[in-house]
Each structure stands twice: as C-alpha cells, then as structure tokens.
C-alpha cells in the first residue's frame, strides 16, 4: 500500500525543508506556510523569467525508495532534505502520467504536473548528488528528483496517511520537467 512517509515545509526559500507532523494543502495554492505556495510561480529562477506563469510546482513529492537507491551510492538523505513537501513509500512516482490525481489521506487531492528538474543546488547539498539523481535510459534522460503537482482539493496531510492513485483516461503522457 502506498503511504505518506513524511511531510515538510519551509516559509523561506531554502533547499531543504523541515519535517512536520502535518501540513495543510490549500486548493490552488500549495502547502500553507511554504515559500513555494501561490497561484503563480514562486521558484526564484522561474519568477525571474516570467512571474505571471502559473505555478505547476505547488507541491513537490519524492519517493523514499530514491533515498535507499542514493544510500547505496554513499548519500545519506532524510525526508525534506531534497526540498520535497511529501515523501511517499510504496509508489513509483516517476512512472505516473501527467494528470494523475493523488489522494493524500482522506481529504487532500493533488494533480501531477511533471518532473522536478534536478539543479545544482543538489551538489551544494552533497557533491555528486545531481549526477546521482539522473539516469540515461532507452527512453532518454530520467530525472529522479521527484515530481511536482498542484492542489485540487485542500486538506491536512500527515505521515502515515494512505496515498490513492487515480489515473487519467488514456492516452497517458509521460512526465516531463515543469
């Protein structure tokens, strides 16, 4: 069964986020009290290019299985370290198509918008982490640093909450960086 392993937020633009017992998702905005919450983009590089862009990166998710994979390469990571708001277990987030709805707990729903594009901040956190978060496959470059989403329905999300996957109707589109 897919579950929420941890939740995190930060009121400031920092790389890592502090884990919390619970976070509140606000419809159309993101994580209450998080620096990246908003209708329009909040990530500094995107604001510099076009501050009126819609915020497709309201909630960042990473699968805990990535931490185990990176641990085998010598990296020690905990939930929130890579800036994610929600750390999941038991679900292959990277295999989900665009438009997938994830119900987190019994209230909140998010819509998957795309992949997080790993950036050099990963190497500032731990040298070599950016390269370790990328993999070349027959499908092309796979970015493993998590997925991004928008909030469809608000609610409280806690560690231990179940994650329910609702796939969009076919044809499915592979995730691309947003």
For residue 20, give the CATH number of its domain: 2.40.33.20
SS3 (DSSP) at 160: coil
In-domain check, residue 85? yes
Other C-beta atoms within 10 Å of 52: how many? 8
pLDDT at 48: 80
For the stretch 19-44, pLDDT in tens is 999 999 999 999 999 999 999 988 77
For the stretch 99-135, pLDDT in tens is 999 999 999 999 999 999 888 889 999 999 999 999 9
DSSP string across 82-129: TS-SEEEES--GGGPPTT-EEEETTTEEEEEEEE----THHHHHSTTH
pTM, whole model, 2 decimals?
A: 0.96
pLDDT at 44: 74
Task: In whole angstroms, give the CA distance from residue 156 to residue 118.
Answer: 28
Task: In whole angstroms, give the CA distance from residue 132 to residue 28.
Answer: 32
SS3 (DSSP) at 158: strand
| Number of independent structural domains in the chain | 1
CA angle 140, 62, 11 (to 5 degrees): 125
Task: In whole angstroms, give the CA distance from residue 47 to residue 65.
Answer: 31
In-domain check, residue 21? yes
Q: What domain range includes position 156?
A: 3-166
In-domain check, residue 171? no
pLDDT at 120: 84
């Amino acid at each position: 069964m897919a579950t929420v392993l941890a939740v995190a937020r930060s009121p400031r633009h920092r790389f890592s986020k502090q884990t919390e017992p619970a976070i509140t998702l606000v419809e159309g905005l993101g994580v209450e009290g998080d620096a990246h919450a908003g209708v329009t983009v909040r990530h500094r590089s995107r604001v510099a290019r076009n501050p009126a862009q819609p915020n497709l990166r309201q909630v960042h998710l990473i699968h805990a299985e990535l931490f185990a994979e990176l641990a085998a390469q010598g990296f020690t990571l905990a939930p929130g370290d890579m800036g994610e708001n929600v750390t999941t277990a038991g679900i292959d987030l990277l295999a989900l198509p665009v438009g997938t709805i994830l119900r987190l707990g019994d209230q909140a729903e998010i819509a998957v918008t795309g992949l997080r594009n790993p950036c050099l901040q990963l190497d500032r956190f731990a040298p070599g982490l950016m390269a370790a978060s990328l993999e070349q496959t027959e499908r092309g470059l796979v970015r493993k640093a998590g997925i991004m989403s928008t909030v469809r329905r608000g609610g409280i999300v806690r560690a231990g909450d179940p994650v329910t996957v609702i796939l969009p109707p076919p044809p499915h589109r592979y995730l691309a960086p947003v």
